[in-house]
Amino acid sequence: MGAEAFERFRLRVLEDVTLQDALRETPDTAAFMARAVELGAAHDCHFTADDVHEALRAARRVWRERWI
């Protein structure tokens, strides 16, 4: 369920420059994950930092498979 909520939030972020800016301003990965969880909850998308971490890992894996 968390992964589905994160995906809904991710799609919302792609459409909302304000959310993009809020996430872009984070200084590191830990802060990014915490801010994503906070913003997600504010937009009724409830997921954990672990869900964000797994999504980041999956995206990196896809990138490596595509470019390496």
Domain ranges (residues) in the chain:
2-67
pTM of the model: 0.89
pLDDT digits (tens, 9 = 90+) for 30-65: 999 999 999 999 999 999 999 999 999 999 999 988
The angle at the Cα of 42, spanning 40 to 44, to the nearest 5 degrees, equals: 70
Of 63, 1, 58, 52, whose CA–CA distance to 30 is shortest? 52
The pLDDT, as a whole number, for residue 41 is 98
12 φ, ψ (degrees, to nearest 5) = -65, -40
